[in-house]
Amino acid sequence: MFYVLSKVAWAFAVPSTFLVLVVAAGLVAAFVGPLATAGLAAAIGGTVLLLVLGFAPVGTALLLPLEQRFPAYRDEGRVDGIVVLGGGIYTEISQVRDQLSMGEANERVLYMADLARRHPEAVLVFAGGGAEGEPAEADIVARFAAVAGLPAERIRYDRTSRNTWENATHAATLVAPKPGERWLLVTSARHMPRAMGCFRRAGLAMTAFPVDYLTVPGALSGQDSVAAGLSRVDDAVKEWLGLLAYRLTDRTSALYPSPDPSSPPGPASGGPSR
| Predicted local distance difference test score (pLDDT) of residue 269 | 43
pLDDT tens digits for range 59-80? 999 999 999 999 999 887 899 9
> Would you kindly state where each structural domain of the chain is located, as residue ranges?
2-56, 75-213
If you average pLDDT over every residue of the chain, what do you get?
90
Superfamily per CATH, domain 75-213: HUPs (3.40.50.620)
CA distance 106 to 93: 14
Instruction: Look at the pTM and tell me if it is higher than 0.85.
Output: yes
Q: How confident is the model over 30-46, as a mean pLDDT? A: 92
Count the Cβ atoms, other than its own, within 10 Å of residue 12.
Answer: 9
pLDDT tens digits for range 113-150? 999 999 999 999 999 988 777 899 999 999 999 998 99
CA distance 247 to 151: 36
Tell me 252's DSSP state: S
CA distance 150 to 133: 26
